[in-house]
Structure 1
Amino acid sequence: MLIKNMLNIAERHQVIINKLHQEGYVAVVDLCKELNVSPVTIRKDLKLLEEKGLLFKTHGGATQQNPYTVDRPVNEKEKIQSVEKLKIGTEAAKLISDNDSIVIASGTTVQALARAIHIKGNLMVVTGALNVAMELLKLDSNVEIIQLGGVLRKSSTSVTGNYAESALGDFFCSKLFLGVDGIDLEFGLTTTNSMEAQLNREMIKVSQKTIVLADSTKFGRRGFGRICGFEDVDQIITDSGVSEATVKALQSMGVKVTIV
């Protein structure tokens, strides 16, 4: 809604903060229209609010949380949003059928998927993540695991590098279950490690569908390594903490969003 009467700086800032609390993200172009001011004015407002610690500026807007992710050990990540990850993993497991062939990437959310798999028939799983492989070994089902080799990242207990990438060229799977460190509506999917991002891109190439498993804290964040844009994503499974505006934006790009 266009605000016709010119607001003073304090009033503009309150409108921006209120909108940010409601939607989790504000865009410069939208604020210009709503407040009837120039982009230069809005950028100055966002800079002042960032200096006060009230938001984080991003390309073309601002967000409530720090948009830049940091690499954390897998045992530390496992404790974060654990309930949400369990629900996401359980929902994702419903997409796996008997005699399926799938790729499971790295991360604690896809590890939750591995724990939740219950099938009666055979299953072929390609993975570069040791923690995922160890969970699959516990299953009673007839699961065949192809463990990719390469350079082991201690923080994620997963492999990266040319050896793992070249091995993927021998397979074609129905689904890729992908964990990410960041989902940004402009920048796409990211992880904290560029070599892992490259391996994830190769996984996308050999998979018929790409299904992203990510809790709501990953939205509006960016890691160092870009994996892909949303044109390569078929579905995202997340929790109810994701904003309605984000869900609508993803759906408009052709991405199916499942909320647990």
Structure 2
Amino acid sequence: MARDTRWQALLELLAERGRLDVEEAAAELAVSAATIRRDLDGLAEQRMLVRTRGGAVAHGVSYELPLRYKTARHASEKQRIAAAVAELVAPGEAVGLTGGTTTTEVARALAVRPDLAAGSPALTVVTNALNIAGELAVRPQFKIVVTGGVARPQSFELVGPLADGVLGAVTLDVAVLGVGAFDPVHGAAAHDESEAAVNRLLCERAERVVVAADSSKLQRRAFARICGPEPVDTLVTDTAVAPETVRRFEEAGVRVLAV
């Protein structure tokens, strides 16, 4: 197993458990304990975790993987979800995109839609995600509006009062949310309170709200609440979603598309 693959696997385990033991991690990844110790030392040098005697712990309660380490997780599911979300957007609409790996795939799916290849503009995209803005800015058929704010290195998202100022002055047809968790009772949530605040404002400015989330994020809770289930019109997820989960979301008034 390559080092980058091991590092990603270790960070995913840490995100799930909050604590890692060297011997247990070595057994799960089928490598030596010495290799795991070197990996944990390397991740600690990058401030990705805190080393402890015999293992490592996460950096605090609301730990999240930086975006660059999330890109390979549930990749095929996210691409299918993104394609389905892109089809919910009509030419000429104003679309709000939050940051995240799934919404990044939504941006890419919109970029290759043939009916959005021309227009003035074919689509207006409002986003607080620097990586999404960077990918779409080279496409002249899209009008890209980037919020101000302070960049979070974990997600490339701009947050804070400057972002609030821009979003308070626009109106959106649809907001597409990438979330840390989505529950039919507690609603949508993020790992960071500043991201949640910007995402909440995007919801408030939109005529309709779409949550794009793979099934691993459903019926879960995260630290910072974005909104309840009531503002969400549609949840687009993958086919691994349990029928009972679909039923609970539909009872909460959320249409579910499993792709």
Asked if structure 1 preserves the Cα contact closer than 8 Å seen for 2:235 and 2:255, the reply is yes
State the TM-score, normalizing by the size of structure 1.
0.71
- Offset of 1:95 from its aligned partner? 1.4
Residue 258 of structure 1 pairs with residue 251 of structure 2: no
- The answer for the alignment partner of 1:231 in structure 2 is 230
2:72 aligned with 1:83:
no
Separation of aligned partners in 2, 1:129 and 1:108: 11
1:215 shift after superposition = 0.4
How is 1:8-157 mapped onto 2 (pairs within 5 angstroms)? Answer: 70-117=63-110, 118=113, 119=116, 120-121=118-119, 122-139=122-139, 142-157=141-156
1:79 is matched by which residue type in structure 2?
A
Q: Which amino acid aligns with 1:242?
A: V
Q: Hey, what does 1:29 align to over in structure 2? A: none
Structural mapping, 1:151-230, within 5 Å: 151-230=150-229
Alpha-carbon distance change, 69 to 194 in structure 1, aligned in 2, over 3 angstroms = closer
The aligned residue for residue 14 of structure 2 is none
Q: Could you tell which deviates more after superposition, 120-129 or 69-78? A: 69-78
Give, as a single letter, the amino acid of the residue that structure 2 aligns with 1:199. Answer: V
Q: Which amino acid aligns with 1:225?
A: A
In structure 2, runs of 5+ residues without a counterpart are 1-60
Secondary structure of 2:230's match?
helix
Q: Identity over aligned residues, as a percent?
A: 35
How far the C-alpha of 1:137 sits from its partner, in A, is: 2.7
| 1:155-192 deviation line (CA, Å, top 9, x unaligned) | 00011101101211111010001000011233211100
Q: Which amino acid aligns with 1:133?
A: A
Shift of 1:69: 6.9
Pairs aligned (count): 192
For structure 1, the 5+ residue unaligned runs are 1-67
Name the Cα RMSD after superposition: 1.4
Partner-residue secondary structure (3-state), 1:223: coil
Which residue identity does 1:74 align to in structure 2?
L
Equivalent pair of 1:128/1:164 in contact (CA under 8 Å):
yes
DSSP 3-state at the match of 2:185: coil
Counterpart secondary structure, 1:232: coil
Deviation (angstroms), 1:98: 1.5
Name the residue aligned to 1:40. Answer: none
Name the aligned partner's letter for residue 76 of structure 2: V
Give the whole-Å Cα distance in 2 for the aligned partners of 1:248 and 1:237: 14
Which amino acid counterpart does residue 145 of structure 1 have in structure 2? I
Contact 1:190/1:222 (<8 A) preserved: yes
